[in-house]
Amino acid sequence: MSDFTRRQALTVLGAGALAAAVPKPLRAHLSPEIRRAAVAAEQALLLGHYDPVFFTPAEWRTVRLLSDMIIPRDGRSGSATDAGVPEFIDFTVNDRPGHQVPVRGGLAWLDDESRKRFGAVFVEAGEAERAALLDAIAWPKRAAPEVKEGVAFFNRFRDLVASGFYTSRIGIEDVQYMGNTYVPQWNGCPPEACRHLGVSYEEG
């Protein structure tokens, strides 16, 4: 987990999905499920209060904590909970039955494994203990065979978090998406982009 940044989350998701706050031309490329979930999360943020539909109160605490461990607040943008990611996940899991058993079972696995290792459920374990447990399941190629259930859960949950984050206003601002911005004058490719591409406007 310590090596996993929100930029890598975006890479894992392949540029993610964007919804309620996304300009209409881009929004048209999203699946109906993603659009509905992002709109629901946006509405929950506007209301300032949200009662989970699928998750129990204990599960909801874990979902919120785990979401912020995956994408924490930093100097550039807010955290997953700031962006309404838990609400997005609750709507998505409730709306798509195929997620329900794997996600609920994964949360139970996380608590069971935390009890075995630290004598406490995940949200009540110490910060370093929680990080150590996620380190054991966040990297499939390095994970031990006995935690394969945790690896499968974390991969799914991490994708949900990244999807929810990059459908939010905060996530869109985080990747600096400009959309169909009006450009009054075209001055050519920006210098940083030219350098990245290895080209220039200077004649050889």
Q: Which residue has the higher pLDDT, 3 or 184?
A: 184
Q: Between 75 and 178, name the one with better pLDDT.
A: 75
pLDDT over 90 at 174, yes or no: no
d(CA 154, CA 140): 10
Compare 9 and 131 and report the one with higher pLDDT.
131
* Helix, strand or coil, per DSSP, at residue 34: helix
Closest to 55 (Cα-Cα) out of 97, 98, 96, 86: 86
For residues 42 and 21, the answer to whether their CB atoms sit within 8 Å is yes
Q: What is the dihedral of CA 99, 104, 106, 111, to 10 degrees?
A: 160
CA atoms within 13 A on the CB side of 99: 19
Query: What is the CA 174 to chain-centroid distance, rounded?
Result: 12
pLDDT (0 to 100) of residue 57: 94
- The SS3 of residue 90 is helix
pLDDT over 70, % of the chain: 72
- Residues 23 and 171: their CA atoms lie apart, in Å, by 13
Sign of the Cα torsion 72, 75, 76, 81 reads positive
82-124 pLDDT, tens digit each: 988 999 999 899 888 999 999 999 999 999 999 999 999 999 9
* 178-203 average pLDDT score: 77
66 CB neighbour count, 10 Å cutoff: 23
Ordered by start, the domain boundaries in the chain are 6-197
Task: Tell the residue number behind the tokens 């997953």, with chain if given.
Answer: 80
pLDDT at 133 over 80: yes
- Nearest-CA neighbor of 69 among 122, 144, 114? 122
Question: Contact 192/199 with Cβ under 8 angstroms?
Answer: no
Give tens-digit pLDDT for 78-91.
899 998 899 999 98
Q: pLDDT tens, 27-48?
A: 555 566 666 666 666 666 665 6
Q: Which has more pLDDT, 192 or 14? A: 192
Which pLDDT score, from 0 to 100, does residue 3 have?
Answer: 45
Residue 131 CB-density burial (10 A; 0-12 exposed, 13-18 middle, 19+ buried): middle
